[in-house]
Amino acid sequence: MAALGEATEQLNKIVDDGLCLGCGLCAAIAPEAIKMTRGEDGDLRPIANDQFDDEKMALVNQICPSLRIEGLPEDLASEAPHQDTVWGPYYEMSLAHSADANVRHEASTAGILTALAIYLLETNKVDAICHVKAADSPANFGVATISRTRQDVIEASGSRYGPTAALVDIESVLSSDENFALIAKPCDLNAMRNLAHIDSRVNQRISYWLTLLCGGFQPDASFNDFLRQNNLSKEGLSQVRYRGFGCPGPTSLTYEDGSKTSFHYLDFWGEDESQWSMPLRCKICADGIGEAADVVAGDAWQGASPDRVESETDKGFNSVITRTKKGQSLYQDAIGDGYITITDIVDRDYLSAVQPHQVTKKLAGQARVDGLRKAGSVAPEIVNMRADALSEMLGLDAFKEQKQGAFERANALKKQN
C-alpha cells in the first residue's frame, strides 16, 4: 500500500487522537478531496483521497473545531452587559417555553429553538433554517437539513444525540443568495466562526446563530451497546426519537414491522451525568455552553438530570441565554409577538445549578487541552474564552489533576488504536 501523504496523516491524526467530532466542515470546504464516511468505529469521519494536499490541510487547520475553538467575535462579545468568567458574555438568562402547546410538547425540552426558527421564518427575518433532523439510516444518526416552513421546522425538532455531520452541506447555504439562521451544536458554531475569518460569505448568509447547551454526543458504539444490553437489534430499526413528546419524554425505538420500544431518559442515559457515554472530544470540550451563538437553549433540571416522578407531568422549561444584542432583540420580539412565553429571569448561579457539568468542563478546559498536548495528541487552541481566568478559578491542584486525567485518557486511546 502506498504511504499516506503528510496532509492526510495530519487529518487522520485528528481522528485517531479522538478529537474529530464529525462536523463535516472539512468535507464541505474541500469536497473533491474529503468525503464524510463512517469510520471503523461506526462514527462519521473525514476520509481524504489523493486530491488532498498541504494547501487543503492548511485550510482544515484554520477551520477545524478540534484545532481551534472561538466564541463570539470580539465586537459582539464586548457589547454584552454581563461578562461572566464561567458563562461568558450574555444579555439575559431566563426560563421560557414555546407559546404553542404542541411545539412545546413535541420539541426536545420546551421548544424554544423551534419557536425561534418558526418566528424567524414567519416574520421573514430569514429565508430558511439550516439545522438537522433524524437520518433515515442509521436511524440513531442525524442529518443536515434546510427548513423553509413551520412544518419542516417542527419535523426537525428534538435532540439528535447520535453522530451528525451538521455542516457537511454548508456550501449550499454559503453559495446561495438567501439569508439563513443556523441551529447547530456549540462545536459546529465554533467551526463556522473559524470559517468566518477566511470566508466572508459566512456572515453575509448566516443572520442568526442559535445553539443548544451540549454535554456531548453519543458515539454509534455506545448506542449499539445499549441495544445489546437490552436484547434489541439494529436490524430493521427505522426511527429513533431520543426525547420530546413530554420533557424529557421517552427515548423511543421504532422498527420497520411497526413494533416500538420506549425507555425513560434516565434508563437510556443513566441516572446522572457520570454515566453519559461520549467521545474524547466531548470530554475535553471547552465550549458546551454555546459561546459563539446569539441565543442558547438548554434544559433546566436541578443537577442536570430529570426526576423520574416529575418527568411524568413536566410540560418543559428551557433555560435560555441571550448573548448578543441581535439575539436579545430576537428573543424579546418573539416573546412580544406571542411565539415564546417567558416564565422567569434567572442568573448565573441558577444556570450553574442546572448545568453543573458545564461548569466543570468550562473550568477544566485549558487543563484538559494541556493534558492532550502532553500526551502528544492533537488539541484545540482556546481563543477569547477566558482560559487563563478559568484555570485560575479551578486552582492549581485541580488543574494538575484534570491535566493528568486528560493525559491518561489520551494515552489510553493511543494504546487502543
Ligand X SMILES: Cc1cc2nc3c(=O)[nH]c(=O)nc-3n(C[C@H](O)[C@H](O)[C@H](O)COP(=O)(O)OP(=O)(O)OC[C@H]3O[C@@H](n4cnc5c(N)ncnc54)[C@H](O)[C@@H]3O)c2cc1C
Residue with cell 421546522: 153
Phi, psi of 293 (to 5 degrees): -100, 160
**Is the Cβ of residue 306 or residue 365 nearer to ligand SF4 in the bound state?**
365
Q: With binding defined as CB under 6 A, does residue 8 bind ligand X?
A: no
Residues 6+ apart with CB under 8 A from 377: 17, 18, 19, 410, 413, 414
Q: With binding defined as CB under 6 A, does residue 166 bind ligand SF4?
A: no
If contact means CB under 5 to 8 A according to the sort of partner, which of ligand X, ligand SF4, none does residue 187 touch? ligand SF4
**Is the Cβ of residue 94 or residue 109 nearer to ligand X in the bound state?**
109
Tell me the closest approach of the beta carbon of residue 25 to ligand X, in angstroms: 13
Sign of CA dihedral 102, 107, 112, 117: negative
Q: With binding defined as CB under 6 A, does residue 72 bind ligand SF4?
A: no
Asked whether the beta carbons of 117 and 147 are under 8 A apart, the reply is yes
Among 8, 10, 66, 318, binds ligand SF4 (CB under 6 A): 66
Tell me the C-alpha distance between 339 and 337, whole Å. 6
Residues 6+ apart with CB under 8 A from 417: 16
Tell me the closest approach of the beta carbon of residue 337 to ligand X, in angstroms: 17
Residues 6+ apart with CB under 8 A from 247: 109, 110, 306, 311, 314, 315, 316, 317
If contact means CB under 5 to 8 A according to the sort of partner, which of ligand X, ligand SF4, none does residue 284 touch? none
| Residues 204-223 contacting ligand X, CB under 6 A | 212-215, 217
Q: With binding defined as CB under 6 A, does residue 190 bind ligand X?
A: no
Tell me the C-alpha distance between 207 and 294, whole Å. 10
Among 22, 142, 249, 298, binds ligand SF4 (CB under 6 A): 22
Give the binding range for ligand X (CB under 6 A) out of 10-18, 297-305, 331-339, 406-414: 297-305
Tell me the C-alpha distance between 158 and 108, whole Å. 4
If contact means CB under 5 to 8 A according to the sort of partner, which of ligand SF4, ligand X, none does residue 22 touch? ligand SF4
If contact means CB under 5 to 8 A according to the sort of partner, which of ligand SF4, ligand X, none does residue 251 touch? none
Among 214, 247, 330, 413, binds ligand SF4 (CB under 6 A): 214
Q: With binding defined as CB under 6 A, does residue 20 bind ligand SF4?
A: yes
**Is the Cβ of residue 29 or residue 116 nearer to ligand X in the bound state?**
116
Q: Say how many C-beta atoms besides its own lie within 10 A of residue 416's C-beta.
A: 7
If contact means CB under 5 to 8 A according to the sort of partner, which of ligand SF4, ligand X, none does residue 299 touch? ligand X
If contact means CB under 5 to 8 A according to the sort of partner, which of ligand X, ligand SF4, none does residue 298 touch? ligand X
Phi, psi of 35 (to 5 degrees): -120, 140
What does the CA dihedral 338, 340, 344, 348 come to, rounded to 10 degrees? -140
Give the binding range for ligand SF4 (CB under 6 A) out of 61-69, 147-155, 202-210, 292-300: 61-69
Give the binding range for ligand SF4 (CB under 6 A) out of 88-96, 101-109, 246-254, 278-286: 278-286
If contact means CB under 5 to 8 A according to the sort of partner, which of ligand SF4, ligand X, none does residue 21 touch? ligand SF4
**Is the Cβ of residue 44 or residue 99 nearer to ligand SF4 in the bound state?**
44
If contact means CB under 5 to 8 A according to the sort of partner, which of ligand X, ligand SF4, none does residue 88 touch? none
Residues 6+ apart with CB under 8 A from 275: 269
Asked whether the beta carbons of 331 and 320 are under 8 A apart, the reply is yes
Tell me the closest approach of the beta carbon of residue 54 to ligand SF4, in angstroms: 16
If contact means CB under 5 to 8 A according to the sort of partner, which of ligand SF4, ligand X, none does residue 71 touch? none
Among 91, 161, 399, 407, binds ligand X (CB under 6 A): 161
Q: With binding defined as CB under 6 A, does residue 334 bind ligand SF4?
A: no
Q: With binding defined as CB under 6 A, does residue 330 bind ligand X?
A: no
Q: Are strands 340-346 and 92-98 parallel, antiparallel or unpaired?
A: antiparallel
Residues that bind ligand SF4 (CB under 6 A): 14, 20-26, 46, 64-66, 185-187, 214, 216-217, 281-282, 285, 288
Chain positions contacting ligand X, by CB under 6 A: 107-114, 131-132, 142, 156-161, 164, 166, 183-185, 188, 212-215, 217, 297-299, 318, 355
